[in-house]
Every structure is written in structure tokens, then in C-alpha cells.
Amino acid sequence: MGVKKIFSGVQPTGNLHLGNYIGAIKNFVDLQNQNNECIFCVVDLHAVTVKQDPKILKQNVRETAATFLACGIDPKKSIIFNQSSVSAHSEVSWLLSCVARMGWLNRMTQFKEKAGKDKEKASVGLYIYPVLMAADILLYDATHVPVGEDQKQHLELARDISKKFNTDFNAPDFFKIPEPLIQKNFARIMSLKDGNKKMSKSDPSELSRINLTDSDLEIINKIKKAKTDTGSFPTSVNNLKSRPEIENLIGIYLSLSGNKIDHLFSEFKDKNFSFFKEKLSDIIVKKISPISKEIKRLNQDPSYIDQVLEDGSQKAYELSSRKIKDIKKKFGF
């Protein structure tokens, strides 16, 4: 297969967790190591769609970049930068907001969830957030976008905006139609306390998620306390029906071990959940412990992180400058 142009973003809103790792960052690393052209962005402009403390935001931008590095993204192979340092993102977002239709944005379920009951009080930024995301992707002619399942609808919107722009301006191949890269199995990691809610940075319960900075003991403890049920360990896929917590723990196990589900059923046949949880903790600790240590080490070296971001921003600036010139020309500016 040819080289893919990869773009993805992660919000610097603290507490990156196992869901971010399995749903997104793990794939970023694989795509990079398959020699694709990769750009990974800390999307700080998206973060300010809800109120942020400026000092904490700056720290979170560094910590998100440190997490990319600790997980295996290599600044010699991939571009790592923060969105607000390249002004083309905001500029193209405005231009694309004149292409996107209100009706399309009105369908976005994430806005409805995040805005809650009082939509009148949500920021306008939160509403047009998916247009900024489309700008991020289209500005670099990205062909493939690795994301978790919750971003699928936003990706479809980016594809619609791209197609409409190409039609409106009679420029058939001007923007690429980006393909989502979403894991087929276990694309959505759920809360350890409620199998119907996704694992999230904003969940008030620390026990609901494994943070990528958790210590080994914290991981072991959280898995011990993870919700299961009174049934016995499943022996087939049919046994997983209506057991979202069990399905989630098994999903985490399979994603991190690379084992097949049939192998798991035979490995844990006749065993109880506490035995499975011990093995699950072992696997998570083995994966997360080195990442957690490396994030903590990098957090002690903010000037190195700032340098990585600055170098990445320079490269992103160069790539985006060419495209934005062409975009403006199309509008007649």
C-alpha cells in the first residue's frame, strides 16, 4: 500500500487515559512506524470551546505532547505541534464555516451531549467545533484520520465539507476526502464503573478510568474495583450480551495483549473474575508503566517539550502556508 497522509488531534484537557491510548494514540504510533507521513496535533483551540484556566492549559499542552512522545511518537518521523501556533487553522475554519451548512451541524450528537440542556449558554465555538476539525484535516491534505469511534460523525462532516467545497468551486480534487481509521473491535473503551458510559477525562470518579500517568498500584487497585457482575466468566461471545462491563474489560485485555477472543475464552475457562482481573492488571501495568514513567520524566523537562512543539509548528506552518494561499485564491481573495 502507498504512503498515507495521517492527521489526528488530541485535546489538551488533562488526564489522558487508557481509552485515548487504545482508541487513538496506539494507532498513531503504528501508523508512524509503517512509514506514513504523520502529523499529530495538540488541539488547544478546540480545548477553549469550554472555559480553561490559561496557566493549566499551557501545562496540559505540554503534558499532551509529552504523552505523545512517551507512547512512541518520534519527532524525527512525525510532526508534533500545537494548533494555536499555526494561524491557518483558525483562518481556514472561518472559510469552511461559510461552506458547511447549519443543518449539518445541527445533527452533531457530541454538541448535544456537551451543551447539555441549556444550549443557549453553550459557546458558539462549541457549536462550530467540527468545522475547525475539518480545517485541521483538509489543510494538510490528510488522506487518513485515526480517531476513536466517538469522532466518526465529525469525520463524516469533514468529508461533506470537502465534497461541497470541491463542487462549489468546481475544483474536483482540490480537497482530499479523508478516510476515518477507526478500530474495528473495541473502538470505544468504557468507564470502569459503568459499561454504558465511555471512559472520559471529565468523569468525576477517578476509579472510572486508568490515567496514563497512574502508578502500578493505582492501576491494580482500579482494576480490582472495576465493576463486574454476579454471572460466571463468559465462555462465548453470546455470554457477553447485556454485560457491558465484562465486554469492556475483555476488550481492554484483547486490545493490549493482541490475543484472539477464542484464546481468551479457553485461557480463562472455569476461572473467576478475580483471577482474570489479576492477569488484566499485569497486562495494563506492562503497557502503561513505562509510558507513565516517561511522561513524568518528560514533565521535568519543559524546555525540551517546548522545542519539540516549536520545531513541529515550523514544519506545520510551512505545509499549511502553501495550502492556505490556494484556498484563498479559490474564494477570490
10 binds ligand AMP (CB under 6 A): yes
Phi-psi region of 170 (alpha: psi -120 to 50; beta: other; left: phi over 0): left
Min dist CB 243 to ligand TRP, Å, is 27
Stretch that binds ligand TRP, among 130-138, 195-203, 204-212, 221-229 (CB under 6 A): 130-138
Nearest alpha carbon to residue 46 among 73, 15, 84: 84
Stretch 140-159: interaction string toward ligand AMP, x if CB under 6 A: -------xx-xx--------
Query: Using alpha carbons only, how large is the chain's radius of gyration in Å?
Result: 21
**Smaller CB separation from ligand TRP, 92 or 220:** 92
Nearest alpha carbon to residue 141 among 3, 18, 17: 3
Please choose which of ligand AMP, ligand TRP, none residue 178 contacts, taking the beta carbon within 5 to 8 angstroms, the exact cut-off set by kind: none
Residue 165 sits at φ, ψ, to 5 deg, of -60, -50
Q: Is 201 a catalytic residue?
A: yes
Among 9, 14, 19, 251, binds ligand TRP (CB under 6 A): 9
Please choose which of ligand TRP, ligand AMP, none residue 20 contacts, taking the beta carbon within 5 to 8 angstroms, the exact cut-off set by kind: ligand AMP
* Structural contact between residues 32 and 71, judged by C-beta atoms closer than 8 angstroms: no
Min dist CB 309 to ligand TRP, Å, is 16
Stretch that binds ligand AMP, among 66-74, 93-101, 198-206, 318-326 (CB under 6 A): 198-206
Stretch that binds ligand AMP, among 17-25, 49-57, 210-218, 239-247 (CB under 6 A): 17-25
**Smaller CB separation from ligand AMP, 21 or 165:** 21
In this structure, which long-range contacts are made by residues 247-252, counting pairs with CB atoms below 8 Å and at least 24 apart in sequence? 247/195, 248/186, 248/189, 248/190, 248/192, 248/195, 249/223, 249/276, 249/277, 249/280, 251/185, 251/186, 251/189, 252/18, 252/22, 252/186, 252/189, 252/280, 252/284
Please choose which of ligand AMP, ligand TRP, none residue 137 contacts, taking the beta carbon within 5 to 8 angstroms, the exact cut-off set by kind: ligand TRP
**Smaller CB separation from ligand AMP, 13 or 166:** 13
Catalytic: which of 4, 198, 222, 277?
A: 198
Nearest alpha carbon to residue 140 among 217, 70, 58, 81: 81
CA 166 to chain CA centroid, Å, is: 27
For the chain, the first-to-last Cα distance in angstroms comes to 38
Sheet holding 37-42, edge to edge: 79-82, 37-42, 5-10, 144-146, 179-181
Nearest alpha carbon to residue 15 among 188, 171, 204: 204
Residues that bind ligand AMP (rule: CB under 6 A) add up to a total of: 15
Among 4, 7, 23, 233, binds ligand AMP (CB under 6 A): 23
Q: Is 114 a catalytic residue?
A: yes
**Smaller CB separation from ligand TRP, 11 or 313:** 11
Among 138, 199, 250, 308, binds ligand AMP (CB under 6 A): 199
Cα separation of 301 and 318, whole Å? Answer: 27
**Smaller CB separation from ligand TRP, 27 or 208:** 27
Min dist CB 67 to ligand TRP, Å, is 14
159 binds ligand TRP (CB under 6 A): no
Residues whose CB is less than 8 angstroms from the CB of residue 177 and which lie 6 or more positions away in sequence, other chains included: 159, 162, 163
Residues that bind ligand AMP (CB under 6 A): 10-11, 19-20, 23-24, 147-148, 150-151, 188-189, 198-199, 201
Active site residue ranges: 114, 198, 201
